[in-house]
Amino acid sequence: MAGFFFGRGRTPEFAETEPSRPRGVIVWVHAPGALDFDALAPLAERLDEVFDGCTMLITSTEARTGPVPLEGLVRPVPQEGREDEFIAHWSPDMALWMETPDDPALLAAAARAAVPLVLVGAAVPPPTTGRARRVQRATFDRFGHILASSPAAADAILGLAPVRPRVEVTGPLIRLPDPPPCSEGERADFAALLATRPVWLALEPAASELGDILAAHRFVLTHAHRLLLIVLLPEEADADAAAELIASEGWSHARRSLEEEPGERTEVYLIDTPGEIGLWVRIAPVTFLGGTLAGGPRAPALAAASLGSALIAGQEGRGDDPVLRRLTEGGALHRISGPADLGLAVDDLLSPERSAVLAHNAWAIATDGAEVIDRLAALADAALRKRRG
C-alpha cells in the first residue's frame, strides 16, 4: 500500500501502527459518542456462539465505559484521509453503527469495501434543509438495515430517505440486567407483615433529595393514611445523617440495620443494609429513581424495571441516559418536572390500574434488549453467508 506524504514527513504504513488482524469473523462496532461496553457484552457473547469465535472491533469518538466484551479490540477512529486503510487492514465482516450515522467519510469507505452496514438504535435525525438534508439522506441510504429506537425515529427516517423495507423498530441496544435476587421466604414474610398497606420506594436517593422525598410522603399521607415510605439508601450514603433527618422531622420510623421491622404506625422504613434492592423493589409497586431530581449517581433503572415496579423520575438524565430515554419513550416512566410534583405522581400511581400500565411497559423494555440481540445475530449470520458465498 502506498504511503501518504504530508510536508517533509512520511505517514507510516497503517499496518505498522496497528495490531495484526485477528483470524476469523470481525464485527466492527462504531459509536459517535460514549459507548457502554456492558450493553455490548450480551451481543458479543451471542455472536461468539453464532460464529464459533468472533472478534468485536470497537471504535468510539468518546471515552469508553465498562470492560471490553469478550474478544473485543478497541481502536481509535482513523484519521481523516486514512479511512480506506482502516477498512482494508481490519477487513470487517459487518459494521454496526450506533444511534447516529456520523463520519460520512468513514461510512463511504465501508460502503466502497462492500462491508454490510447496520444502524442500531437509530435516533430521530436532527432537522436540516437544502444540501445538508441531501447529505443526510445519502448517509442513511448506505445502511442495509436500520433498527430504529422508537416509532418516532422510524417515521422521521422514513420521511427523510426512501428506505422503507430496511427500517424496523427494535428499540436500542441496552444493558440486559439480571433481576436482582432476594430471598423468597423473606419477601413473603414482609409481604404478610405489610398486608394491605400501600407502599412506595425511594431507590438510592441522593442525600439532597431526601427532604423532598419526605415532603412528598407527607403530602400523600393526607390521602393514604397508612402509606409506608421505604428509603433504600445507596451503599455509600451516610445512613446516620439520613436517620437524623427523618427523626428531626418527627417521623415514626424504623431502621433495617438495627434489625427493626415496620410496625402498623411506622411511616418511614430506612434500609441501610447493602444488597437488598431485589427485596424492596419486589415489595413496592411504585419506585422513585434516586438521582433524577438532584443529579449525580442515578438509581439502577433497569433493575427496578425488570421487577415490574412503576417508575417515577425527575428530569436529570433525560437527554443523556439511554435507559431513561428508552423507558420514557416506551411509556414506562412517569416523568416529573421537579420536587413539587413527586407527591402528586406517587398519589396517582398508588392506583393499581395506573401503576400496572407503567409496570408492564417497564418490564417489557427491560427484557426487549434480547430481541435486538437476536435480530443482530440473525443479520450478522446472513451477512457473513452472503459475503462468503
**Which grid coordinates are listed for 122?**
437509530
Among 57-66, 181-190, 227-236, 332-341, whose mean pLDDT is lowest? 57-66
Share of the chain above pLDDT 90, in %: 50
3-state secondary structure of 191: helix
> What confidence tier does 323 reach under pLDDT thresholds 50, 70, 90?
confident
Question: According to the model, what pLDDT value does residue 5 have?
Answer: 26
CA angle 285–329–313, rounded 5-degree value: 45
Q: What share of residues in the chain are helix, strand, coil (percent, to 5)?
A: 40, 15, 40
Collect all residues with Cβ–Cβ distance below 8 Å to 338 and sequence separation of at least 6: 293, 314, 315
Return d(Cα 200, Cα 270) in angstroms, integer.
12
> What confidence tier does 319 reach under pLDDT thresholds 50, 70, 90?
low
CB 102 within 8 A of CB 77: no
CB 224 within 8 A of CB 347: yes
Average pLDDT over residues 117-135: 87
Among 85-94, 139-148, 322-331, whose mean pLDDT is lowest? 322-331
Question: According to the model, what pLDDT value does residue 162 have?
Answer: 67
Cα-flanking dihedrals φ and ψ of residue 38, to 5°? -60, -30
Does residue 227 surpass a pLDDT of 60?
A: yes
Q: What is the mean pLDDT of the chain?
A: 87
pLDDT, tens digit (0-9, with 9 covering 90-100), for 268-290: 999 999 899 999 999 999 999 99
CB atoms within 10 A of CB 251: 16
Return d(Cα 385, Cα 378) in angstroms, integer.
11
- Bridge partners (DSSP) of residue 238 are none
Among 10-19, 60-69, 146-155, 224-233, whose mean pLDDT is lowest? 10-19
**Which grid coordinates are listed for 290?**
434516586
Question: According to the model, what pLDDT value does residue 8 have?
Answer: 32
pLDDT, tens digit (0-9, with 9 covering 90-100), for 340-382: 999 999 999 999 888 999 888 887 777 766 778 888 999 998 8
Q: In which element (H, E) is residue 278 found? A: helix 277-283
Q: Using the 8-state DSSP alphabet, how is residue 336 labeled? A: -
Does residue 1 surpass a pLDDT of 50?
A: no
Give all strands of the β-sheet with 333-335 in edge-to-edge order.
253-255, 268-271, 228-232, 199-203, 286-289, 310-313, 333-335
Average pLDDT over residues 224-233: 96
Q: Using the 8-state DSSP alphabet, how is residue 21 labeled? A: P
Does residue 328 surpass a pLDDT of 80?
A: yes
Q: In which element (H, E) is residue 121 found? A: strand 117-122
Question: According to the model, what pLDDT value does residue 291 have?
Answer: 94
Name the H helices within 141-183: 151-160
Average pLDDT over residues 83-98: 94
Question: According to the model, what pLDDT value does residue 130 have?
Answer: 84
Average pLDDT over residues 27-47: 86
**More confident: 312 or 14:** 312
**More confident: 125 or 9:** 125
